[in-house]
């Protein structure tokens, strides 16, 4: 799309409307994966110039990123995407965003040096990409939101702050889900403590609060460590 055919203010209004429309759903309580899938789908439907939106979140020390939720006409590209941590990719936009950096939007074209970018540009007409960090305020969980547009300098022309606000909304979803898991774990610990059986998954504070057995007491086997299942793990 040429610059003369693109109306950045109208695009910004459309994106703002999509944000407002989805905010209640995102914060209303559905599981993280369902909430983000709904938002990405709605965004790419309402804003056709964004041909792909995908997210990943989990451990910031991961050595591999694969889109967990993806939507848009270029969704097939995301489903085949796999970013392994190497010397090259560790300084690329995905892993930089995962470290919490605010990465500027960047251009891609059919001659880009990175082969996945070349493929995306040639197959779907992608010209501009933005990688945004996602952060939970409750724990160490981190994530990224990747947006792909078919307009040159799309994110700069619309305004990067609109998309950073979008990432903040996604971060709120992470925080809510993390807080819910923590509350569930705390309730489980409390119940186990009242019954005199403290699972190893409970926090250290509860463990240290447990009376130390006397030397004559018979030792008991500890229960296996359990970790709340992360419902946002990638599915291939």
- pLDDT per residue over 73-120, tens digit each? 999 999 999 999 999 999 999 999 999 999 999 999 999 888 888 999
- Separation between Cα atoms, residue 80 and residue 89, nearest integer Å: 17
Instruction: Provide CB contacts within 8 A for 8, sequence distance 6+.
Output: 157, 158, 159
| Residue labelled with tokens 């990432």 | 167
**Domain residue ranges of the chain, discontinuous segments joined by +:** 3-179
Task: Look at residue 236 in the predicted model and tell me its pLDDT.
Answer: 35
Domain at 3-179: CATH code: 3.30.450.40
pLDDT tens-digit map of 42-66: 899 999 999 999 999 888 899 999 9
Place 201 in a pLDDT band, splitting at 50, 70 and 90. Answer: very low
Q: 134-143: string of b/e by CB count within 10 Å (b at 16+)?
A: bbbeeeebbb
Characterise 122 by phi-psi region: left (phi > 0), alpha (psi -120 to 50), beta (else): alpha
Q: Lowest mean pLDDT: which of 32-46, 120-134, 141-155, 201-215?
A: 201-215
Average pLDDT rounded to a whole number, residues 182-209? 51
Both tokens assigned to 40: 């990405």
C-alpha span between 4 and 176 (Å, rounded):
42
Confidence (pTM): 0.72
Residues present in the chain in total: 236
Say which residue the tokens 């965003």 belong to: 97
pLDDT above 90 (res 190): no
């Amino acid at each position: 799309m040429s610059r003369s055919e693109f109306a950045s203010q109208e695009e910004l209004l459309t994106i703002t409307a999509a944000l407002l429309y989805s905010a209640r759903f995102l914060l209303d309580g559905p599981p993280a994966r369902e909430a983000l899938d709904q938002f990405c789908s709605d965004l790419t439907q309402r804003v056709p110039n964004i041909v792909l939106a995908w997210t990943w979140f989990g451990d910031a020390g991961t050595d591999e990123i694969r889109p967990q939720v993806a939507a848009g006409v270029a969704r097939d590209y995301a489903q085949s995407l796999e970013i392994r941590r190497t010397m090259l990719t560790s300084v690329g936009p995905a892993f930089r965003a995962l470290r919490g950096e605010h990465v500027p939007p960047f251009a891609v074209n059919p001659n880009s040096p990175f082969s996945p970018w070349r493929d995306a540009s040639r197959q779907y007409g992608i010209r501009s990409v933005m990688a945004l960090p996602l952060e939970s305020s409750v724990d160490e969980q981190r994530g990224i939101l990747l947006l792909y547009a078919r307009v040159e300098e799309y994110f700069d022309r619309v305004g990067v702050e609109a998309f950073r606000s979008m990432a903040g909304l996604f971060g709120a979803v992470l925080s809510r889900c993390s807080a819910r898991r923590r509350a569930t774990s705390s309730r489980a610990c409390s119940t186990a403590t009242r019954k005199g059986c403290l699972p190893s998954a409970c926090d250290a504070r509860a463990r240290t609060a447990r009376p130390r057995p006397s030397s004559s007491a018979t030792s008991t086997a500890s229960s296996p460590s359990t970790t709340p299942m992360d419902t946002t793990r990638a599915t291939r």
